[in-house]
Structure 1
Amino acid sequence: MKLLHFTDIHLTKDGETIGGRDPNANFAKGLAHAMTLHSDAEALFITGDLSDWGDAEDYERLKGLLSSLPMPVHLLIGNHDDRGTLLDAFPALEGPGGFVQYTAPLSLGTAICLDTWGPETHAGHFCIDRAAWLDAELDKAEGPVWLFMHHNPVPIHVAPMDKIMLLDADRFAETVAPHRDKIRHIFHGHCHLPLTGSLHGIPLSAPRGTNHAGWADFAATRLLSSAELPQAYSVVFATPTSVLSHMVEFGYEGEIKGEGSPDYADWNRMTMVR
């Protein structure tokens, strides 16, 4: 199974930039890159911050950008989105209780997409109702299960970012722990950083994002930090016994150098580039 994981695309008004970068152009560039190399992926997941300000025009723009893709696209909500406006544009995303939560079948198990949005905050929320829904879906899901969400469910130990992580992280952890043997991976975004880790033994990961990049400033106490790093998305390869996630830095514009053959017989001081 091959999946594409995009996050934090932050679409905005034409001509506006974020961090000196054009998020609309960069998302389109990322899609073109992925479709050139990975059009055989069976699904694309975009884990939130679809719009920078939750404007209706951004969601209409997103519809147009996704309209010609050859695979199903599964959208999630992030803290920069507006739930009502998003659901007006994509009513099929609405789940029980008005949350942007739903399941999607995959060739290898089931994807569960979660709503961690809360009003007037950048932090993540996972209320009792959402937890009950997830628990019920995990009970009945055909394994393996792949969880997708926007906010990071574990701290990354960068103080300003941890102020806006999933604040109901304990509730989330208590919900997934009994199902740890069924859940193969948790995919999230929000941090604009490449991250890997685990929760109750469940692996988790996040790519950088398709526009502006974060920076892990472990000395920061109040402000988030950014850096001029390449824009990225992830491509995920999964089998019944393995999972591998590549962060693809499609925004890199430097030289790609040939180093030499991987065959041992070809390794010598004359041909290997050093």
Structure 2
Amino acid sequence: MATTLAQVSDIHVCPEGTLYQGVADSNAMFAQAIQTLNHLQPAPDLVLITGDLTEDGTPAEYRMLRQLLAALELPYRVMPGNHDNRRHLREAFPEHTYLPAEGALHFAMDIGEVRLLALDSTVPELHHGELDRAALIWLDRELTACRGRRAVVAMHHPPFATGIPYLDIYGLRNAQAFEQVLSAHDHVDRVIAGHVHRLMHTQFGGVPVITCPSTVTQIALRTAGDAEPASFLEPPALLQHVWAGGRCAVSHLTYIGQYAGPFPFA
């Protein structure tokens, strides 16, 4: 039987009546993402939101987030991103006891045949990512404990340089230390991340890494050294990571919204 993890990211929920960056209705776009998730067949075993749940981490935004999530018919877990506030996130989800009561919001859980390790890469009140010594020790301990099973590491900040200069300013600062931990464990199936508002995939420490698009705007692919930051209202999307038959996952891009079809051919 297959195990499916649906990943959405960078939803940037705003106060009611407020547009994300004055441009996009991120709340309505996340509501549409929830409709897409509810209609996926077969239904995912879990939905994971890999950070930037809100735009400014305020209690009002988390209340709006909960109001929107009430329509989701699937089990879900939340992770912080650089736009989130750990304390306000905890307070908004008191029944989500997988979130630690203090400190970084790392957690681990089983999804079917797979062990999910959610790693909090955020630095409070800053936008770059970093993994302190306690985070790396936690990850190494959890990976050691699940040897013999496939593991997936989820984090907000991807651990590689994207080549987009205005993104890499806010990347993961100590990626080498993270790579050392990964390289000591041969059962990590992949690393999944968000933050960059684009689909990207590469290898890091011999492990596949894939980033999830945003449910709102997508950041422009501009690689010139003097490139100015830019985003587009491109089609939003989510990822489905599917493990079947003991094999490595296949990660599928699924566009959010309604499109013409299905047509009787393939």
**TM norm structure 1:** 0.88
In structure 1, the residue matched to 2:255 is 249
In structure 2, the residue matched to 1:35 is 38
Relative to 1, partners in 2 of residues 1:227 and 1:97: Cα closer, same or farther, differing over 3 Å? same
In structure 2, the residue matched to 1:139 is 144
In structure 2, the residue matched to 1:176 is 182
Is the aligned partner of 1:83 residue 2:86? yes
Residue 66 of structure 2, aligned match among 55, 63, 78: 63
Displacement of 1:106 in angstroms is: 1.2
In structure 2, the residue matched to 1:151 is 157
Partners of 1:70 and 1:15 in 2: CA distance: 25
In structure 2, the residue matched to 1:107 is 112
Partners of 2:144 and 2:115 in 1: CA distance: 12
Is the aligned partner of 1:189 residue 2:194? yes
Identical-pair percentage: 26
Is the aligned partner of 1:231 residue 2:233? no
SS at match of 1:98: coil
Is the aligned partner of 1:166 residue 2:168? no
In structure 2, the residue matched to 1:11 is 13
The number of residues matched between the two structures is 259
Is the aligned partner of 1:22 residue 2:25? yes
Displacement of 1:254 in angstroms is: 6.2
Displacement of 1:215 in angstroms is: 1.1
Deviation digits for residues 145-176 of structure 1, max 9, x if unmatched? 11111001011111111111111111111111
**TM norm structure 2:** 0.90
Larger radius of gyration: 1
Name structure 2 gaps, 5 residues minimum.
none
Give the letter aligned to residue 88 of structure 2: T
Moved more, 140-149 or 213-222: 213-222
Partners of 1:74 and 1:249 in 2: CA distance: 21
Q: How does 1:201-240 map to 2 (within 5 A)?
A: 201-221=206-226, 223-239=228-244, 240=246
